[in-house]
Amino acid sequence: MHALAVRYWLSHPRISMMSRFAHLFRLISRKLRVATTVDKSWKDDCIFCLRHDPKLNRILCENTTFFARHDNYPAVAGHVEIVPKRHVASFFELTDHEVLEAYALLREARSKLIREYDTPDGYTIGVNEGKAAGQSIEHLHVHLIPRYFGDVKDPRGGIRQAAPNCEPDSWL
C-alpha cells in the first residue's frame, strides 16, 4: 500500500480496530507462509541435514549455525568436517556471519582434537567446491584433517597435489 493510503486506512473512523488487526494478521501470516515454503533450509535425503541421527553423524561440537562431525570415512584419525546446519552446497552461499561462525567452530574442533588425539604436526583444511573439485555430497563441509610428519612420502605442495601438473621438484 502507498503511505498515504495506509494513513487514511489507519485513521478512517468506519474501519474498526479489529478489522485493522485482522487485516494485518492476514498480511503477516501470508508472508510467513511464503517464507517457510520458499526457504527450506534442509533436505530430508541429505546425510548432513540429518545431523541428529547418531548412526550418520558423530558430532564433536557445535554452535548456532554449524556443527563439527567426525568424518565417516576418515583420511586419518581425527578427520572432522565443519558443516552448516542450513542446507547450502557452496562456501560462497554463506553469509559473512556464517563464515565467522564456521571459523570459530573450526578452532574449537581443533582444540578438542588436540585433547583427544596426539598433537598433530600440521593440518590440511579444505573445501571441495563443486563436482569438478571432488564434492561428493551437495552440502558444504569443510575438512579439518590432522597431519603428521611421515604420513605421506612428500607433503610439499599440500592441497596443490589434488590438481594436475603438481610437481614440487619444479618449484626449487
Asked whether the predicted pLDDT for residue 137 surpasses 80, the reply is yes
- Beta-carbon contacts of 64 under 8 Å, excluding residues fewer than 6 positions away, are 85, 101
pLDDT (0 to 100) of residue 20? 59
- 133: pLDDT strictly greater than 80: yes
In the chain, the amino acid numbered 66 is F
Q: Which of 52, 58, 144 is nearest to 103 (CA)?
A: 144
Backbone angles phi, psi at 18, to 5 degrees: -65, -40
pLDDT tens for 19-53 read: 655 665 565 555 544 433 334 576 888 999 999 99
Closest by CA to 67, choosing from 8, 54, 75, 76, is 54
Q: What percent of the chain has pLDDT over 90?
A: 54
Q: Cβ of 50: how many Cβ atoms within 10 Å? A: 14
Whether the Cβ atoms of residue 155 and residue 138 lie closer than 8 Å to each other: no
The 10s digit of each residue's pLDDT in 94-116 is 999 999 999 999 999 999 999 99
69-107: b or e for each residue (b if 16 or more CB lie within 10 Å)? bbbeeeeeebbbbbbbbbbbeebeebeeebeebbeebbe
Q: Report the topology of domain 58-154.
A: HIT family, subunit A (3.30.428)
Average pLDDT, the chain: 81
Q: Is 139 a catalytic residue?
A: no
Domain ranges of the chain: 3-38, 58-154
Q: Out of 2, 52, 141, 143, which one is annotated catalytic?
A: 141
104 forms beta bridges with none
pLDDT at 66: 97
Per-residue pLDDT, averaged over 52-65, amounts to: 95
Residues 6+ apart with CB under 8 A from 71: 79, 80, 81, 143
Mean pLDDT of 1-9: 52
Beta bridge partners of 123: 146
